Amino acid sequence: MKTNFSRRWFVKGLAAVAVIASFPGAAFARATGAFKADKTDSVVNVLFGDLPIEASSQITFRLPDIAENGAVVPATVATEIEDVTQIAIVIDENPNPLSAVFDIGESSVADVSTRIKVGKSSVARAYVKSRGRVFMTIREVKVTIGGCGG
């Protein structure tokens, strides 16, 4: 019985390693602290390394121009670009600019929506990673009431 028990743990360990390995991008982001970075440049560096960032008009980044309540700002990122593996939302002026990273599986559409906090008026960036290339689009959002000061 005892050997059985330890073997089960070994198998579980293998399974855990497999799960982490199957999503290297964002596991990497978490481990290396992309969410802790306090500048957009360092967020991008951690997420995408040396890959060049290409401005793209093929990304639809929906965000209100003026947010009355910075604590709840609806954001949608969608794109026609094929084989998207990752989408990231970054708000330059937030204390930690990286808001969210989405790992897009093969069977899901590159179209995600959520709501984020925006501390003060800021440049917002949506990044899309596909086939080893990184595309970005920029929006500006004006905030009339802060989202982080409470």
**Contact residues for another protein (CB under 8 A)?**
22-23, 26, 29-30, 35, 71-74, 91, 94-96, 98-105, 107-109, 111-117, 147-150
Task: Pick between residue 49 and residue 52 the one whose CB is nearest to another protein.
Answer: 49
Report in angstroms how near the CB of residue 4 gets to another protein at its nearest. Answer: 26
Beta carbons within 8 Å of 114's beta carbon, 6+ residues apart: 74, 75, 89, 100
Token pair for residue 7? 């073997």
Task: Pick between residue 34 and residue 136 the one whose CB is nearest to another protein.
Answer: 34
- For residue 79, the cross-strand partners are 59
CA distance 141 to 73: 9
Nearest CA to 113 out of 71, 60, 149, 66 is that of 60
Report in angstroms how near the CB of residue 92 gets to another protein at its nearest. Answer: 12
20 residue type, one letter: I
Task: Pick between residue 6 and residue 117 the one whose CB is nearest to another protein.
Answer: 117
Task: Pick between residue 52 and residue 105 the one whose CB is nearest to another protein.
Answer: 105
CA distance 131 to 136: 14
Report in angstroms how near the CB of residue 3 gets to another protein at its nearest. Answer: 30
CA distance 19 to 16: 5
Report in angstroms how near the CB of residue 113 gets to another protein at its nearest. Answer: 4
Report in angstroms how near the CB of residue 116 gets to another protein at its nearest. Answer: 6
Token pair for residue 133? 């290339």
Task: Pick between residue 7 and residue 113 the one whose CB is nearest to another protein.
Answer: 113
